[in-house]
Amino acid sequence: MAEKNRNMKKIILLLLIIFLSNFIKGQSFIETTKKWSTVIHKLPSFTIMTEFIKFEGDTFIDLFTYKKVFRSTDEFQNNWAPYGFIRETLDEKIFYRTNISQEFLLYDFGLNINDVIETIGICGYANSENLSPIKFKVSQIDSLQFGTEIKKRFHMNPIFENDTSTIPTDYWIEGIGSTSGIFHWEALLVGGDSYELLCFKNNDSLIYQNPSYNSCYYITDLEKNNNEYFIDIYPNPVKNKLKIKIKNLDLNKIFRLEIFDIFGNKIFFKEINDNFEIDKNYLKTGILFYRVLCDEKLIKQSKIIIE
């Protein structure tokens, strides 16, 4: 009988530890008050969409407590669809699973410089079960200030076979997630594809806004709606020179190129013509954002990588 009681106490203690590991931390990342919006560009189809992510309600899977993940692509967010389950641990790891999958490591905000980690990211638009693993090395850790809060930022360098690049493609901000979107890694995409975090809100207060966009919902491609000109900016990534070509240039109008760093600081601006080049030595290495204006009207914006 005594042995049975001891075993029962062990089981209760184990369940208590599991319970505390799910709830004590204060839900610093996984909170129902938070909401993310991400713009997704996909070439060559030129599909552009905005997704919103939020968490609601608890569910128990394999003795762990998860928040339910919901996703909307509706500007007014009237329609939400289930998008998996997410949980965090006391040591700042974030785990994600779909309706049918095992759980995968999504983030680890307890990393140090030079740590290597394998995580998963969602590839595609609507299917949260389309998951791909990728290895990252933390090349640098610095900090950003959001109002009165200072949060760590992790510079994540992808590790590919036979690739010695030292340029980070993804940045993780503790409490917010990746600047490529909460579930997406920029390193998983090629060519002109991109995932970009538009906004992060907590309690409906705007905490982060992408400096390349003016709102938290990107409706359609600016070039399709606002532009009679064809603007080609290449190559991307930039190894030597960034080149810009403008077809159907109107000589009576003023075209200007502006380039921003990831903090939103304008680091370059210049009036340009139909064939413009800039040496990469005038720009910072890493991810930059650019926009092209015509008579102060925004006609193209996106991001580039400077190697």
Q: Is residue 67 over pLDDT 80?
A: yes
Q: What percent of the chain has pLDDT over 70?
A: 78
Q: Which of 46-50, 57-61, 252-256, 269-273 has the highest average model confidence (pLDDT)?
A: 57-61
Q: What are the boundaries of each domain within the chain? A: 18-209, 222-306
Contact status, residue 89 vs residue 25, Cβ threshold 8 Å: yes
Q: Is the pTM of this model over 0.85?
A: no
Model pLDDT for residues 152-174, shown as the tens digit of each residue: 999 998 887 666 556 777 899 99
Domain 222-306 sits in CATH at 2.60.40.1930
If you search the block for the tokens 């999504």, which residue do you land on?
A: 106
203 — pLDDT class (breaks 50, 70, 90): very high
Give the tokens for residue 181: 């979107």
Residue 301 has a pLDDT of: 75
**Mean predicted confidence (pLDDT) in 140-149:** 88
Burial tier of 285 (Cβ tally within 10 Å: 0-12, 13-18, 19+): middle
Q: How far is it, in rounded angstroms, from Cα 250 to Cα 139?
A: 45
Between 139 and 253, the higher pLDDT residue: 139
Give 99's contacts (C-beta < 8 A, 6+ positions apart): 82, 84, 129
**Mean predicted confidence (pLDDT) in 72-86:** 90
Residue 89 has a pLDDT of: 93
Give the tokens for residue 170: 């993804």
The least confident of 19-28, 125-134, 182-191 is 19-28
Q: Is residue 97 over pLDDT 60?
A: yes
Give 22's contacts (C-beta < 8 A, 6+ positions apart): 64, 65, 87
Q: How far is it, in rounded angstroms, from Cα 89 to Cα 94?
A: 7
CB under 8 A, 24+ apart: contacts of 41-44 = 41/192, 41/193, 41/194, 41/195, 41/196, 41/302, 42/125, 42/193, 43/191, 43/192, 43/193, 44/192
119 — pLDDT class (breaks 50, 70, 90): very high
If you search the block for the tokens 């990342």, which residue do you land on?
A: 29
Mean pLDDT, all residues of the chain: 80
Q: How far is it, in rounded angstroms, from Cα 109 to Cα 119?
A: 12
